[in-house]
Amino acid sequence: MDSVTSVLFYAASALALVSAMAVVAQRNPIGSAFALIVTLCSLSVLYGLLGSPFIAVLQVVVYAGAIMVLFLFVLMLLNVKREDHQAEGRGVGLLAGGLALVFLLQVGGVILASSIEPGSPVYDASTARMARVLFSPDYLYVFEATSILILSALVGAVVLARKEPR
């Protein structure tokens, strides 16, 4: 990995971490959704740098494009107001900090234990191989069930946002 690529990798990683923290820290749900779009786009850059251009494009088109448009549509439909966090208590903050520490330790352990090298059979993420795996009978039904789940969530959001006639 040359120096420009490594700088870009660390910059995209830092942007992904900061924007992911902004997703959780935002009080405005719309701002949180836009921070999630930044997170997904920086993850796409990371996938591209790791040699998986197909997954990088899918990350932008499917998640940052279609799924986030659906999220924003539901947020606008429900007319979600800004949350006011008064005194939530010290226990919730300590619990969140403890869970974040456990998460960081697990991620660090996975990074230290990983031994996947570029060029190995596990690392191969070519478009043809991904298509054969995704559209095989093993995963095709799960793929279609996901679309039905998203459709039912959209119908549920419309039903919840509907105003009762007077």
In this structure, what token pair is assigned to residue 137? 């009978």
Angle at 52 between CA 48 and CA 55, to 5 degrees: 90
DSSP code of residue 1: -
What pLDDT, on the 0 to 100 scale, is given for residue 1? 58
pTM higher than the cut 0.85: no
Ordered per-residue pLDDT tens for the chain, 166 residues: 578 888 888 899 999 999 998 888 887 888 888 888 899 989 988 888 888 888 888 888 888 888 888 887 777 777 656 555 554 556 656 766 676 777 677 667 666 665 555 555 555 566 677 777 777 777 777 777 777 877 777 777 777 776 676 6
Q: Where are the domains of the chain?
A: 1-85
Of 49, 54, 25, nearest in space to 131 by CA: 54
CA distances from 91 to 27, 94, 96, 97 (A): 19, 5, 9, 10
What pLDDT, on the 0 to 100 scale, is given for residue 57? 85
d(CA 15, CA 22): 10
The CATH architecture assigned to 1-85 reads: Up-down Bundle (1.20)
What pLDDT, on the 0 to 100 scale, is given for residue 118? 55
Of 36, 31, 28, nearest in space to 83 by CA: 28
14-22's contacts with Cβ under 8 Å and 24+ in sequence apart are: 15/42, 16/42, 16/43, 16/46
Tell me how long the chain is: 166
What pLDDT, on the 0 to 100 scale, is given for residue 29? 81
52 burial via Cβ count (<10 Å: 0-12, 13-18, 19+): buried
In this structure, what token pair is assigned to residue 50? 């790791």
Is there a contact between 150 and 70 (Cβ–Cβ < 8 Å)?
Answer: yes
Cβ neighbours of residue 136 under 8 Å, at least 6 residues apart?
Answer: none
